[in-house]
């Protein structure tokens, strides 16, 4: 169980990396109970009611399968935490396999518990109707910084009525770093908090998750339906023997390992149930009959759960009518948010709310449209471009346009001609592209500040804190014949307090499909001023710019090189302003002595300083001349030979 991090009145069941190969961690449930008691005067009575349900271990008289409507709330910042519909469906599939005793690994359950493996007769299905009766696919997606999850009550702003849905939040991080997921015993938490919270990489068994982590939600739903850990709620696993109140789960210490040959710790000759889903061992396989009966009793007697599986709720949430007649809602994603001019990009359809029968993809920067489900657009213009998706079916249409969605980097074929001081022209532009964040603005051009002139680029992180990374993409550079390639740039920054603002520089040789870090500084390491902090808006002197020099020798020979500068404000911001100037890429174009000795053309010497001899038996359309830095210094048009 993970360490508990409390900022308010929350009782959490925390589980650390529930890959089911966990290390022992302290359980804060008792401390959390004390906090919740202060907020809820009847907490102990509610807890006692749930604990007493565990004494029922007899088999059910009739095996009636019930279905729980589920909604996933995916909180994301357009990162990998915005998991696919397919990954969410795989999580539903795992729940249904485990709760219906359809998992093939029950064959390896030890003999002492084979007759106790329960079919819980509970199934799970994504809701088809939302609380307003509108169509849904049971998945809501919210661009929200709360994907870095804390335990404050206001984080649960998207919860649907708990008496109608099992709410599951998917997030990128949970405060404290020790939990993979958590939830509450039924009837003990305020309605809005009656939900499961899970890291994205512990949901399902594909995508960002894995098979080893796929039973995290099996464990958490057990809590949500009234089950404590099998060692009880009064001690940490592995510390002392405890009881979960369920008659057919033996008293146990709880385990963080799966040594089935030595599973007797508390009662002589009594084997403990290491293979239980509510254990911490690395071999979960089963719920017992007693646990199944308790969960079903919770569903049929507790006010907060009884309506979930009612016939009326099956209709209200669309479970009994999956072929709903609704128009779709357009939604899509792209795997890589940057590419090169001239390239084609595939966009993934995530439309919901109804079956989609038609798609139309478009962008002002693309040379085509696409009617494929996962649209393919070819971008012929550089810049920060928007993309539109229109979807429809026989019941209606919907469209969404994502503004400034993809950075299409210029494909200008430059060779070591980068000496950008931002003095001439307006920036950013279609070659030097900035991505504005969701809040605040991106890189902007100054008019009075510079390292060697009067202009540079800066991020207004003092008065217009963007709260997320701000990017600057360079045009293309060709290092095919270059030796001694070096990148230099100047920057100025002063901390505000102990802010952890960060600069990272990346390089790509494949049009932004992947990026490699070549420079990084954060906080005080990024500061360029003599004073450690500056509580006013930072405006640097030219002497307060620092020069960085980076060897790019390992990238020589690549014809398609792009740079990306990313300034990331401290999450606790606002911080202070950041300035960038004088981005230079230098080197030497390596030319070997070339003599063209074909029957048609002879040229020597090459390279040459002042004079070159050319002998040719064919007409020449054009001659271009370059210096050793790769800069074109002249050309001669069509030549008529004698």
- Give the whole-angstrom CA distance, residue 105 versus residue 97: 11
Please say if 220 is a catalytic residue. yes
What pLDDT sits at residue 2?
32
> b/e map of 440-453 (b: 16 or more CB within 10 Å)?
bebbebbeebbbee
Question: Taking Cα atoms as reference points, which of 177, 146, 3 lies closest to residue 75?
Answer: 146
Neighbouring residues of 41: CB distance < 8 A, sequence distance ≥ 6: none
Architecture of the domain defined by 13-56+63-316: 3-Layer(aba) Sandwich (3.40)
Read off the tokens for 317.
């949430």
Please provide the distance, in angstroms rounded to a whole number, between the alpha carbons at the two ends of the chain.
89
Going from the C-alpha of 69 to that of each of 31, 128, 162, 187, the distances in angstroms are 32, 9, 10, 18
Identify the segments of the chain with pLDDT beneath 70.
1-41, 43, 47, 51-63, 176-177, 234-235, 321-324, 413-417, 437-440, 464-468, 532, 571-574, 589-642
Which of these CATH numbers, 3.40.50.970, 3.30.365.10, 2.60.40.10, 3.40.1790.10, describes 332-409?
A: 2.60.40.10
Partners of 15 in beta bridges: 181
How many angstroms separate the most distant Cα atoms in the chain? Answer: 108
Topology (CATH level 3) of domain 419-589: Jelly Rolls (2.60.120)
What pLDDT sits at residue 177?
59
Neighbouring residues of 589: CB distance < 8 A, sequence distance ≥ 6: 415, 416, 481, 482, 483, 626, 627, 628, 629, 630
Catalytic residue, candidates 220, 272, 341, 502:
220
What pLDDT sits at residue 323?
59
What pLDDT sits at residue 18?
36
DSSP 3: P
H helices of 64-172, in order, are 85-99
What pLDDT sits at residue 547?
96
Q: Where along the chain do its domains lie? A: 13-56+63-316, 332-409, 419-589, 591-642
- Give the whole-angstrom CA distance, residue 341 versus residue 381: 6
């Amino acid at each position: 169980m993970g360490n508990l991090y409390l900022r308010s009145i929350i009782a959490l069941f925390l589980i650390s990396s529930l890959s089911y190969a966990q290390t022992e961690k302290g359980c804060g449930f008792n401390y959390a109970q004390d906090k919740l008691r202060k907020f809820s005067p009847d907490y102990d009575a509610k807890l006692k009611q749930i604990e007493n349900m565990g004494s029922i271990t007899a088999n059910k008289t009739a095996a009636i399968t019930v279905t729980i409507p589920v909604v996933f709330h995916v909180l994301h910042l357009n990162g990998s935490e915005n998991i696919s519909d397919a990954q969410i469906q795989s999580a539903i599939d795992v729940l249904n396999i485990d709760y219906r005793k359809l998992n093939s690994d029950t064959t390896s359950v030890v003999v002492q518990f084979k007759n106790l493996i329960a079919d819980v007769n509970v199934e799970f299905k994504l809701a088809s109707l939302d609380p307003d009766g509108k169509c849904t696919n049971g998945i809501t997606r919210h661009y929200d910084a709360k994907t870095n999850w804390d335990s404050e009550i206001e984080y649960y702003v998207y919860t649907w009525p708990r008496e109608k849905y099992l709410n599951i939040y998917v997030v990128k991080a949970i405060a404290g770093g020790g939990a993979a997921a958590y939830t509450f015993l039924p009837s003990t938490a305020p309605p809005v908090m009656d939900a499961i919270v899970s890291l994205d990489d512990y949901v399902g068994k594909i995508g960002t998750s894995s098979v080893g982590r796929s039973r995290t939600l099996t464990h958490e739903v057990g809590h949500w339906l009234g089950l404590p850990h099998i060692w009880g709620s009064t001690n940490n696993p592995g510390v002392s023997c405890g009881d979960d109140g369920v008659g057919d789960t033996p008293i146990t210490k709880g385990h963080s390992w799966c040594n089935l040959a030595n599973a007797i710790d508390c009662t002589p000759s009594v084997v403990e149930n290491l293979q239980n889903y509510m254990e911490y061992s690395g071999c979960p396989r089963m719920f017992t009959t007693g646990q199944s009966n308790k969960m079903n009793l919770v569903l049929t007697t507790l006010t907060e759960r009884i309506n979930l599986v009612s016939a009326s709720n099956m209709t209200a949430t669309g479970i009994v009518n999956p072929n709903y007649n609704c128009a779709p809602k357009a939604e899509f994603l792209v795997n890589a948010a940057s590419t090169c001019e001239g390239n084609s990009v595939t966009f993934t359809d995530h439309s919901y709310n109804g079956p989609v029968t038609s798609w139309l993809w478009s962008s002002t920067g693309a040379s085509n449209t696409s009617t494929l489900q996962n649209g393919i657009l070819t971008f012929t213009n550089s810049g920060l471009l928007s993309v539109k998706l229109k979807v429809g079916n026989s019941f209606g249409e919907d469209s969404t346009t994502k503004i400034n969605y993809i950075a299409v980097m210029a494909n200008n074929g430059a060779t070591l001609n980068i000496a950008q001081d931002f003095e001439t022209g307006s920036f950013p532009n279609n070659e030097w592209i900035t991505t504005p964040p969701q809040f605040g603005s991106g890189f902007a051009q100054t008019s009075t500040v510079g390292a060697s002139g009067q202009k540079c680029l800066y991020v207004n992180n003092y008065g217009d804190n963007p709260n997320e990374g701000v990017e600057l993409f360079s045009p293309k550079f060709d290092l095919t014949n270059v030796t001694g390639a070096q990148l230099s740039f100047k920057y100025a920054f002063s901390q505000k307090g102990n802010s952890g603002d960060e600069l990272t520089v990346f390089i790509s040789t494949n049009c932004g499909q992947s990026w490699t870090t070549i420079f990084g500084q954060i906080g005080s390491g990024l500061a360029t001023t003599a004073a450690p902090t500056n509580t006013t808006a930072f405006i640097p002197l030219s002497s307060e710019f620092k020069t960085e020099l980076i060897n790019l020798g390992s990238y020589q020979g690549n014809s398609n090189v792009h740079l990306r500068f990313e300034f990331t404000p401290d999450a606790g911001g606002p911080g202070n302003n950041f300035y960038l100037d004088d981005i230079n890429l230098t080197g030497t174009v390596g030319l070997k002595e070339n003599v063209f000795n074909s029957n048609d053309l002879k040229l020597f010497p090459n390279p040459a300083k002042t004079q070159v001899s050319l002998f040719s038996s064919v007409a020449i359309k054009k001659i271009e001349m370059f210096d050793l830095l790769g800069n074109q210094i002249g050309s001669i048009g069509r030549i008529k030979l004698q």
